[in-house]
Chains A and B, each alone.
Chain A
Amino acid sequence: MSYNIHIQRQEISALFDLKGPSEALQEWAGKHLPVFPSHPNSKTIKDEMELSFIGRNHWILRAPLSQEQSLAGRLMPESCPSDISIVRISDTLTFFGISGPDAPEVMAIACPLDLHASVFLEGMITYSEVFGIKALVSHYDGGFEFAVEQSFGDMIVDYLNRAIT
């Protein structure tokens, strides 16, 4: 391995796609969610749940898979009002963690986004591309994480292996 990094293809998380006005979402499910992030491309954390602000009237809730059923029970996607949308999408995304001293180098191969620590601050999250595939990229202490549509997961592994070999 020519780059000093650690790559982890992560297990499935519980994911819920939330759309609609934040007021309406908070009214329906606010008590079950972290505080809504005040700025786009940022996230808030409560217990083990992350709520990421990823687009206009668009959020993603992420939690351990073990909480999926209970969250579904509390968020009640099937019965929420018409002006909001809550959809379980746990299986749609595959997450990869890239950490280690050379993580920025490998991410620079994969992603056209400016991931410099002075620009893409820790805790930020945004859509970009990874190896040409739409990806949800975030920056955390010690590395990066990105998620791609699940069906591309094997290809991303293939790419990463090529990048670090």
Chain B
Amino acid sequence: MPSNRLPTGGRINRNQPVRFKFNGKSYEGFEGDTLASALIANGVSITARSFKYHRPRGIVGHGVEEPATLVELAGANASGNVPATTVSLHEGLSARSVNCWPSASLDLGATNQLISKFIPAGFYYKTFKWPNWHWYEPSIRKAAGLAAAPTHPPASGHFEARHAHADILIAGAGPAGLMAALIAGRSGARVFLVDEGTEAGGSLLNRALLIEGRPAMEWVADAVAELAQMDNVTHLQDSTVWAYREHNLLMVNERSPQNPSVIERSWRVRAGQVICATGAIERMLVFANNDRPGVMMASSAQAYVNRYAALPGKQAVVFTNNNSAYAAAADMHAAGVEIKAIIDSRKTIPKDALACVSGIKIHAGHVVQTTKGHRSVRGVVVAPIDGGRRFTVSCDLLAQSGGWNPAVHLFSQSRGTVRYDETLASFVPDQPAQRTHSAGAANGDITLDSALSSGAKAALAALNETGEMHQTANVPTGQDTPYGITPLWQVDAKGTKSKAFLDIQNDVSVDDVHLALREGYDNIEHVKRYTTGGMGIDQGKTGNINIIGVVAQQKDLPLQDVGATTFRAPYTPVSFGAIGGIREDSVLFPYRHTPITAWNHDQGAFMYEAGARWRRPGYFPRPSESFQETVNRECRAVRESVGVYDGSPLGTFELKGRDTGKFLDFIYTNVMSSLKPGQGRYGLMLSDDGLIIDDGVTLRLDDHRWLLSTSTGHADAINQHMEKLLQTEFPDWEVMITTVTSQWNNATVCGPNARKTVEALGTDIDLSPDNFPFMSFREGTVAGLAARIVRVSFTGELSYEINVAPRDMLTLWERIMKAGKPHGILPVGSEASHVLRVEKGFLSLGHEVDGTADAYDLNMGWIMSKKKPDYLGKRSVELRRRGTAVRRELVGLVPDDPNHQIPEGAPLTPGGKKQKTEGLTTACVWSVMNDRWVALALLENGHSRHGETAHVRLKDGVIPAKITAPVFHDPDGILLRS
């Protein structure tokens, strides 16, 4: 039996011993223990080292508020920086303290304490500025830091994220939350009850209270059983509502789902009404050396003896300014802890409190000035609060209580306002910003009776707002000590030089806050940033308000005027995995396939995303072939014989309605309405500021039907663009848009032998150039499949874009490969397509169309209609063109050295000197037609500089290149019209 384990009692399963390791040493606890309770039961006092000064620390709290003992978990579910109080003990658990070396007991980092005077808050902001903070950052972070993230994913299982909806979400299954859940559940409302503990009950788990004359936990058990019978109630334990977002969207982290393959589950709950029954958190008292191992929250000491049957000490002093610590003292006393004294800063102590602790020595109007001991508490120095004779009381445990702070975190995250309540000496919820109710201690209803009543009241209010009119509910009565407090923000102990901590986790002391104020950081948010008080894993749950209190005292302001810092999500740490859910690995980003994706894989294609989440083949390498050799081979096939590529991802829309021609004339720069059925035309779309947003070919199917194609990457954006115009600018125009991107897949056969290949496929369409000219389309059958062939070209070669239904695409593709085999047909990937379009000087969105260029810059002034009175972007282009600003214009670049590649995006500067850039290289490819590198660039006044030399400035040199027209193959377009 461990030395500090009580022989009976507690909510632990003594029939189920659990072995675990802490800092390499083996211990034993019981099922139902936390790591913290098991360590206490085993008499481990130093469990951690502090963040900055590496002071020895022990366990302070018993839940999510724990500021001191963070551990790193090893093994299959490794995790860093977990409060030991929230780690459920399980067989084989292995944990170690963070931020100490070689151990928590003997930590070399403790030498920092020798220079602690010289490293106050913000010292690194001032000290390590020159020459560069980042020089020092690694060593500082190493000296004062937390555990690293795990290096491997969990060995098995996966995270899950799911959605849920509820009429009423209740955060907290303590007395108020359970009461609210019972009433709401009984009404038939859809209730979502979430509690962070492994068991329901909240504070009742740790206290010895009665409800209706019975042990309170019996009432809890009955409530839980009743809720379990309700199909309309979802009840989660070991789960935390960690964020409260807009429109009553709440994020819940479920840490131990029943599904064995799910490690953790994240819920995104949309609730009609929310009840915050999140309880209250006990705060520290501020006095010298209030961080020594053995200094613990009184409620936590109470929890350890009651819930875990573990003694945090054998001789205790209780230091308080409020009534609740008296019940804690009584419970500790009942468990066998010798209460050496109760030190109460109040001069008058309520009778109700006194009644709890008859026979225990009480020093009213006294304070603890400091603790004695080094590695653990050996005693406390006590003095009258108004000054006077000091005396020492020996002890190995100091149970302290500075009062209770309603856990208003969620309420505040919802943008509800908080106000300072003088009676409670804390901030409480004020005006809700959403459909939010607060109940129980979270609402300032600290005692059991008031918590039950306010839980019921909140439930009724929530039900009434959902339309379920309920007036009354039966509320049981609870037995509790009335709450009363006189705030004590810090103990004034003149002559005591030791640090009095406000934030134990970040080693922030009273002196640090004073320093911040002296240096002008007097807004509470600035104090937080300067000192780091209230940051970190615990977010200052036990100390924040003391910082506010100290600031208020120093500035002689009421706390309300100092205000509270902003409460932000997450309330407690959440695994990244839980937030991501199953979205990892192959589904980290969306992806889209065409019907020949599998064929591409079978051919060994190198696949990657090429716009709008489409996975496309980049190139089709052969064994022992280099990347460039592959691309060259594919390019030659198209230039010299025939190639085929999958153009299915191009955005395609069918437009119908009597105003469609008018609409197309508005969104394109050229005239589309004059097209005859069967014809197509290339067009540019501009934004309202006159910049190019997309290009593509529009076909006229018949009088009222048009087929519009967009670039792959902009398909969705252009769809939205068109819909927005129709719904906001032209609601009276009759234009109906249907997305048919995936109704028509296409295989584009291109190259001098394209016609022969398509003929070989077998078609009833006359392919002769006279009857089927460039920029027209025909419908019929190809290879026995219903098809629409379009004569467009993105490669500059004779091309047939054969469109079929996706169900026929693979068949078509395989037949094309067979038909083209005599001509050596090759599949062509995106890389070769890029080369072919650069050789032709065809623009590409994201390259030449970079968000600054207009049509004139790209030698496409011909596409800007002079006939139309107006179109989108026209006025903006005209205004810009009237200006005198120098434009960057599209040119070709031919490096003087034909084997010199220019990196895409490389800047052009005058003479290659270190001067302001005059342009950039938009693309550079090895041209199989020219047997050299060629490039496209946007260059200032480029159109008038053909024949000159431009200079590409790189880190390691300058590449001179001749400026040419931006076309390197078939400048007259004879081939594509052939």
Contacts and interface: CB of A to CB of B under 8 A. Distances in A.
B614 interface: yes
- Number of chain B interface residues as a range: 35 or more
A44 B262 CA distance: 39
B803 to A, nearest CB: 11
Nearest to A11: B807
Given A109-B162, A112-B268, A155 B658 contact: no
Interface stretch (B416-424, B589-597, B747-755): B589-597
B742 A149 contact: yes
A78 interface: yes
A152 B593 CA distance: 7
12 contacts: A85-B736, A91-B806, A108-B163, A109-B160, A109-B581, A112-B270, A114-B165, A116-B190, A150-B806, A151-B592, A151-B594, A154-B591
Given A91-B742, A92-B743, A12 B260 contact: no
Contacts of A150: 742, 806
Contact of B160 (A83, A87, A163): A163
Interface in A130-161: 131-133, 149-155, 158-159
Interface in A88-115: 88-93, 105, 108-109, 111-114
A2 B263 CA distance: 13
Interface in B683-730: 701-705
A91 B594 CA distance: 12
A151 B658 contact: no
Contacts of A12: 807
Contacts of A131: 583, 587
B877 interface: no
Interface string B867-879: 0000000000000
Nearest to A89: B743
A149 B649 CA distance: 12
A17 interface: yes
Contact of A109 (B161, B658, B702): B161
Contacts of B161: 109
Interface in B262-286: 262, 268, 270
B592 A155 contact: yes
A149 to B, nearest CB: 6
B734 interface: yes
Contacts of A151: 592-594, 614, 649, 741-742
A2 B162 contact: no
Contacts of B496: none
- Number of chain A interface residues as a range: 35 or more
Contact of A119 (B165, B654, B740): B165
A20 interface: yes
B158 A165 contact: yes
Contacts, number: 113
B586 interface: yes
B431 interface: no
A132 B590 contact: yes
Contacts of B614: 151
A19 interface: yes
A162 B260 CA distance: 14
A82 interface: yes
Interface in A62-83: 78, 82-83
Given A2-B259, A87-B740, A155-B592, 14 more contacts: A17-B738, A85-B736, A91-B743, A91-B807, A92-B740, A108-B163, A112-B270, A114-B270, A131-B583, A132-B583, A133-B590, A151-B594, A152-B590, A162-B587
B736 A162 contact: no
Q: Specify which of A3, A91, A108, A151 lies most central, judged by the most chain B CB atoms within 10 Å of its CB.
A: A151
A94 B314 CA distance: 69
Contacts of B736: 19-20, 84-85
Given A108-B164, A151-B592, A154-B597, A19 B582 contact: no
Given A82-B734, A163-B582, A89 B740 contact: yes
A85 B259 CA distance: 48
B162 to A, nearest CB: 4
B592 A152 contact: yes
Contacts of A149: 592, 741-742
A129 to B, nearest CB: 10
A30 to B, nearest CB: 18
Contacts of B261: 2, 165
A112 B654 contact: no
A131 B270 CA distance: 17
